[in-house]
Each structure stands twice: as C-alpha cells, then as structure tokens.
A and B are shown apart, each in its own frame.
Chain A
C-alpha cells in the first residue's frame, strides 16, 4: 500500500485525547508499573505487576512462567537417573543440595541405604553449597541496595574458590551431577580434601573482612531495618521456609527437625531473628555461613574411610517398587522437596519438585505493601529466589 497515505486502522477510528476526571484532589491516579521480566533487580526473568500511589506500593502481583520448560513432564518421560543432571538446572547456584534432595527422595522410594563416607561427603558438599549460595545472596543484595558490584565481586572471589573445588571433584563448576541413588559418584582425593579443609579454615577471616565492610554500614542499616517485615504466624501459614522463616524467629530447620543424613551427629546451632525484616534476613545468611563452617570443620575431622556407594544400588535397570515417597531437605533457600510416585516402571509415574523459591514468594505482596519501589527490590533480593527453580 505504498503511496496511498496512512492506512486506516483495522479496528476503526480511535478517539482523540480524553480528559480524565480526578476523583480525589489530594491523591493522584494510581500508576501501574511492570517491573521485569528483563530487569536486573528481579534476579532472572521474573515480573512484578506493581500498582503505585506516588512511589508507594499499593498492590503487587508476581507473574511467573518465563523460564517454564515443564521440568516435571520431562522427568516423567525419562528414567530416574536420567533426571539427576536436570535437577542441577533447578537451583543452578546450589546444584549439590538439589542433587541430594532428589537422591534422598529416590532412596526413600526404593529403600536404599547410604554408606557412612558418602553421608559425610554429602554434608560437606551441601554445606559448601550453602556457603556459595549465601555469599552470592549477600553480594546480590548489596547490588540491589545500590553498591554496584564491589561486594558482589568480593563474594564471587570466594565463590570461585569453592566452585573450583566442585569442578575438580565432579568435572563441572555449577552443573555438578554428583549424587547417585545410594551414594556419590566420585571419591575425593586426599589432596582435594586438604584443599577444601584449608579453604574452610580461611573462610571465617573472609567473613570478618566482608562483615566489617557491610554489616555496620549506615546506608545499609537505614535501607533494611524495619523494611519488609514478616510476622511468624503468617509465614508459617504461607509455607515460608529456610532463612526467611528463621529470620522471623521460627525455629524450624530440617537439619534438626528431620535429622536427615548424618546431621544429628553434628554440633551446630540454628540462628534465629526476632524482627523478621530485611536486615534479619541478611544476618541469618551471615550467621548460617559461620555455622556451616563449624559443620564443615567437624566433617573434615571425622570423615571415615570406606565405600561411597550402597552395593545394592543399581545404576542400570533401576526400577523401584510401586509406591510413593516425599523426601525433603534444607536447601540454602528453604525446604526443597521431591514427591515421587512409582508404578514399577523405569520412569517415575509422578515427579514433583516442591520449590522453596516459588513458595517463599507467596507473601511478597504483603511484605512490600506500604514500601517504595526501591524497597521492593531489596525485599525481593532478601528472599533469595532462583528462577530456574521458581518456573521449573
């Protein structure tokens, strides 16, 4: 239609500018802002539909699904072991604990036992993962607060050392695929154990350095204290788990409650907050890292020799008997559960991931109401989500 002037609108003539009536002389109209899905503060492809009165949030609806690939359907169409590498991609910052959660559920489903050495190795790797996850979270939280990248790069420096260890052990920095049903895949060498033990011994001095820069910072205190309060009663009802729940003062850590693996043998404490605000959620991570260091030092001291796989476990032709099992553990982000239903075939009939990141977002709106947009960014950062796990 070149040369015929402007083409008519397919939907008829649009009206000209209209005058809107102002209902309330003291308040302007509400503004609806779509934060995300490509905004750096949303930690991935996540969107918040925010309704603002001036700069204050009056409504917030999270929108999910941008990273959805129907992980559960794919897992139902492959063998049990076949989805083990795929669980790395759920929470890609802490693949070791995600692997363990899946292995735990399958072991419960099939009634497998795990040798002592493998139990210790699992705890070592899960706690190293917790260090990686928490140190990254703190870095990203300060990014959200506006200190562009300096704390994050300190965090990444330490994280890089730990994921170098993961690479040396499993062959991959982040997609470790390390756990197997009834044990672990490779046995670490004495050199690896010595290097890991050295790293863990040096970690508290890094934490002291990190905290001396961040914890007492005046801007940080002003921006986080009293922001995004979460009261324990609502948090329990909404299924919030992990450090976010414990920041509200609820003593519920699956390492103590379920005592899975060999955690009952370890001496550690559960840090609890008492305000449930963003600052407490930040402090929870710092204190949990210090407790993880204690667990790791004890594990390196007591690590027994022996096999790392249950001799009854089969890699090929693995078919659990019909039945169902729900296995859960304390991942760095909260309670990570796998619900499996077997009909006796090599594939799971039903495979379900209970994602802590998704369910911890249930009360995001309540936490953000009355705060400004800039605070919503910080509150979201303190909840700690990974979109690979939220959208699955």
Chain B
C-alpha cells in the first residue's frame, strides 16, 4: 500500500479545496492518520472506498474522542525598564490562554479485497456544544451504522446524513453524554416523574385527552 503522505497528496490533487492534514502518532505503533475537513469528508471517504489502488472497502472501527477545553500557560520574557535608570530588567510574564476543546471521530479503514490497512481518518468538530455535527460515513460504510449511533449516544456528535440516528445504549429519554470527560452522573438514575401534583400538571400538557373517533 502507498504511504499516507502519498495518499494525502493524491487526495489533495483530486479534491483541491479540501483541507487534509497528516496527524502523526508519536507512539511505537506509528499509525498516523489523516485529518479531514468536515465538508469534504464524505466525498473523500467515497473516493478511498472506490479507488482501485486503495479499495478500502471495510471500515473496521469508528469511535469518538473527547478533548475538553484546555488552559495553556505561556511564559514570555518581557524587558521592564528600571525606574532608577539602570539597565532593563527581564521579567517572565505568564499568560493563560483557553484553548477551545473539540470532539473527534476516528475511523480505521482496511481493504478486504487487497488485504491492506489500516488507513486512519479523523474529523474534528468546531466545539463541544450539544448540537455539534459531523458528516456521517454510514452511507459509505454500513458498518458505521451502530458505531456512529454509539458515538452520538455517548459523545453527543450529531452525524449529518445518518439514516437512523438514535441512542444506541442509553435509553431514549437520557439527557447527557456519558463518555465526555466532564460528565457528572445524576444522583439517581431511576428517578421518574410520576403523575401527581406538579408533575401531573406538566404531564397533562404532553398527553392531551384522546380524541373520540366515530
């Protein structure tokens, strides 16, 4: 199989407007990955699947990663003039900067026809809000179906173009996304509103009296 740099160069030539960056993996596994921009990702994935030299017909693993907001401390050396008229003093000035976090989805692609791989592709969201979207790759590889539902369930990435995006493991009424790093679990998972008092008044707005049909 051609190297990841060659694949990236070929993709850049094929999709001139797309942003494709090589993300290096410093570990001993050295499985580097391609970071795709969201707007071209589906087309690129389609190309990776159908290209004769690659034929990445099998998406083995799709998963999410949460990268929370990070405080970065930067130290800068600043020259402060001495009021007594001596030479300037060099003082270290610390500034904290908030690096916004993001959610990431990672796909491991293999070729069953040519028996090579993996090619790792990843996409990043703009922020960590609750309605943050990425294109779904389920139309390209059906194996992403349940896995993207799981990422939506546990990380809260909304996959655009997924045919059936529902929670997979948590129940439908569940509100939060448990795999996020800042998730706090509720005091009582089993608590349910029962129809009495204030809850009943609220429930009545959801359940109007059934219509009588002839």
Instruction: Report which A residues bind B (CB closer than 8 A).
Output: 10-15, 18, 64-65, 68, 70, 72-73, 108-111, 234, 236-240, 250, 252, 257, 320-326, 328, 335, 337, 339, 341-342, 349-350, 352, 354, 358-359, 361-363, 391-392
Instruction: Choose the segment among B10-18, B79-87, B94-102, B139-147 that binds chain A (4+ C-beta atoms closer than 8 Å).
Output: B139-147
B213/A18 in contact, CB under 8 A:
yes
Chain B residues, CB < 8 A from A236: 57-58, 112
State which of A108, A109, A337 has its C-beta within 8 Å of the C-beta of B61: A337
Chain A residues, CB < 8 A from B169: 64-65, 68, 70, 391-392
B63/A323 in contact, CB under 8 A:
no
Instruction: Report which B residues bind A (CB closer than 8 A).
Output: 25-31, 57-61, 63, 65, 106, 108, 112, 115, 118, 120, 141-147, 154, 167-171, 178-179, 195-196, 200, 203-204, 207, 209-213
B63/A350 in contact, CB under 8 A:
yes
A65/B170 in contact, CB under 8 A:
yes
Which residue of the partner chain B has the closest CB to A16?
Answer: B212
State which of B28, B106, B115, B170 has its C-beta within 8 Å of the C-beta of A108: B28
Known: A65-B170, A73-B179, A320-B27. A12 touches B142 (CB 8 A): no
Question: How far is it, in angstroms, between the C-alpha of A392 and the C-alpha of B153 when the chains are bound?
Answer: 14
A109/B28 in contact, CB under 8 A:
yes
Chain B residues, CB < 8 A from A68: 169-170
Known: A13-B209, A391-B169. A239 touches B118 (CB 8 A): no
Q: List 12 A-B contacts (CB under 8 A).
A: A10-B196, A68-B169, A73-B178, A237-B143, A238-B143, A239-B58, A239-B60, A321-B27, A323-B26, A325-B29, A328-B60, A349-B65
Q: Within the complex, what minimum Cβ distance (angstroms) separates B135 from chain A?
A: 18
A350/B65 in contact, CB under 8 A:
yes
B27/A70 in contact, CB under 8 A:
no
Question: How far is it, in angstroms, between the C-alpha of A352 and the C-alpha of B25 when the chains are bound?
Answer: 17
Which residue of the partner chain B has the closest CB to A108?
Answer: B29
A339/B63 in contact, CB under 8 A:
yes
Which residue of the partner chain B has the closest CB to A65?
Answer: B169
Chain A residues, CB < 8 A from B200: 10
State which of B118, B143, B144 has its C-beta within 8 Å of the C-beta of A326: B118
B178/A257 in contact, CB under 8 A:
no
Known: A11-B209, A12-B209, A339-B63. A239 touches B108 (CB 8 A): no
Chain B residues, CB < 8 A from A111: 27-29
Which residue of the partner chain A has the closest CB to B174?
Answer: A65
Question: How far is it, in angstroms, between the C-alpha of A238 and the C-alpha of B146 when the chains are bound?
Answer: 10
Question: How far is it, in angstroms, between the C-alpha of A240 and the C-alpha of B211 when the chains are bound?
Answer: 47
State which of B59, B112, B209 has its C-beta within 8 Å of the C-beta of A250: B112
